[in-house]
Chain A
Amino acid sequence: MSLPGARQKALEIFHETYTREGTTIAFPMCIPGETLSIPADESHITALDITRNGIVYGGTSGRAAHFFTGMFTGSTGMVFDLATIADAESCTAVCCGNDKFIGCVNDAGGGHIFMRDLQEVPFDITQESSIYNKPLRDLGYPVKGERIIHAVRDVSREHVVGITENHLFVLDIEKEQIELVGEVKGSGKLIAGLDGNVFGMDEPDALFRFNLTKRTLERNAVRLPGGNWQNAPLIWARDNVSGKLYVADNDGYIFSFLPGDGFSERLGKTNLSPVKAMAVTHDGRLFGFCGEEISNMFCYNPAKQEVTDNGVAASVIERRRYGYIFGDAVLGRDGQIYFGEDDDLGHLWIYFPTITKQVLENIEE
Chain B
Amino acid sequence: MKYKTVWYPFTEHPESDSCWSLSVGPDGRIYAAACCETTPGQTVKVVRYNEETDSLDYLFDLDKAVDDPRDSGRATQCKIHYSFAPSMKDGIMYMATHLSGPPIDQPVYSPLGSWHDKERCFRGSALIAYDTKKDEVLWWDTMLPKEGCRCLLHDEERGLLYSLSYPRDHFFIYDIKKRKLSDMGRIGSVNAQTLFLDSKHRVWTTDDYGHVVRYDPEKGRLERSPYILPHNQQMQTGWHSVFYDVAPSPDGQCVYAVPWLNSPRMMRIWPNEGEWGEVEDLGQVTQGFDKKHPPDFFVDHCGGLVFGGDGMLYYVASRWKEPITMGHNNKGLEGIVWRLDPNTLERQEVAVLDRPNENAHYVSRGAVDHNGDLFFGHVHTYAKPNGIFKVIMPEERKRKNAHLPIRMWG
Contacts and interface: CB of A to CB of B under 8 A. Distances in A.
Nearest to A133: B325
Interface stretch (B230-238, B306-314, B340-348): B230-238
A131 B323 CA distance: 13
B328 A130 contact: yes
Interface stretch (B38-46, B76-84, B279-287, B292-300): B292-300
Contact of B238 (A33, A126, A131, A132): A33
Contact of A130 (B237, B238, B260, B296): B296
Interface residues of B, number: 24
Contacts of B298: 128, 130
Interface string B233-248: 0111111100000000
A81 interface: yes
A130 B297 CA distance: 6
A36 B325 contact: no
A38 B292 CA distance: 7
B240 A34 contact: yes
A22 interface: no
Interface string A321-356: 000000000000000000000000000000000000
Contact of A78 (B235, B292, B294, B295): B294
Contacts of B328: 130
B294 A129 contact: yes
A80 B238 CA distance: 19
A133 B238 CA distance: 25
Given A126-B190, A133-B325, A33 B239 contact: yes
Nearest to B323: A133
Given A33-B240, A34-B262, A133 B235 contact: no
Given A132-B326, A133-B325, A36 B190 contact: no
B291 A80 contact: no
- Among A38, A78, A131, the most chain B Cβ lie within 10 Å of the Cβ of A131
Contacts of A132: 296, 325-327
Contacts of A127: 190-191
A109 interface: no
Contact of B292 (A32, A81, A126, A128): A81
Q: Say what secondary structure dominates the interface of chain A.
A: loop
A30 B325 contact: no
B189 interface: yes
Contacts of B189: 126
A33 B236 contact: yes
A30 B295 contact: no
Interface in B210-245: 234-240
Nearest to B208: A126
A30 B327 CA distance: 19
A294 interface: no
Contacts of A126: 189-190
A304 to B, nearest CB: 41
Contacts of A136: none
Given A127-B190, A130-B328, A132-B327, A32 B294 contact: no
Given A36-B234, A126-B190, A128-B298, A133 B239 contact: no
B231 to A, nearest CB: 9
A31 interface: yes
A86 B326 CA distance: 21
Contacts of B296: 129-132
B35 to A, nearest CB: 16
Contact of B295 (A32, A34, A81): A34
Contacts of B238: 33
Nearest to B260: A128
Contacts of A78: 294
A231 interface: no
Contacts of A130: 296-298, 327-328
Nearest to A31: B294
Contact of A129 (B236, B292, B295): B295
A131 B190 contact: no
Interface in B92-126: none
A31 B295 CA distance: 10
Nearest to B296: A130
Given A130-B327, A132-B327, A133-B325, A30 B235 contact: yes
B293 A81 contact: yes
Contacts of B240: 33-34
Contacts of B325: 132-133
Contacts of B190: 126-127
Contacts of B262: 34
A133 B297 contact: no
Interface string A28-53: 00111111101000000000000000
Nearest to B209: A33
A38 B298 CA distance: 24
Interface string B258-301: 00101000000000000000000000000000011111111000
Contacts of A36: 234-235, 291-292
- Among B296, B298, B326, the most chain A Cβ lie within 10 Å of the Cβ of B296
A35 B327 contact: no
B363 to A, nearest CB: 16
Interface string A252-290: 000000000000000000000000000000000000000
Given A126-B190, A130-B297, A35 B239 contact: no
Contacts of A128: 260, 297-298
A81 B293 CA distance: 7
Nearest to A81: B292
Contact of A32 (B237, B260, B293): B237
A129 B293 CA distance: 11
A34 B292 contact: no
Contacts of A133: 293, 325
Contacts of B295: 34-35, 129
Nearest to A84: B292
A34 B235 contact: yes
Nearest to A128: B297
Contact of A80 (B191, B234, B239, B294): B294
7 A-B pairs with least C-beta separation? A33-B239, A128-B297, A131-B294, A33-B237, A133-B325, A132-B327, A36-B291
29 contacts: A30-B235, A32-B237, A33-B235, A33-B239, A33-B240, A34-B235, A34-B239, A34-B240, A34-B262, A34-B294, A34-B295, A35-B293, A35-B294, A35-B295, A36-B235, A78-B294, A81-B292, A81-B293, A126-B189, A127-B191, A129-B295, A129-B296, A129-B297, A130-B297, A130-B298, A131-B296, A132-B296, A132-B326, A133-B293
Interface of A: 30-36, 38, 78, 80-81, 126-133
Given A35-B293, A36-B234, 11 more contacts: A34-B235, A34-B236, A35-B292, A81-B293, A126-B189, A126-B190, A127-B191, A128-B260, A130-B298, A130-B328, A133-B293
Interface of B: 189-191, 234-240, 260, 262, 291-298, 325-328
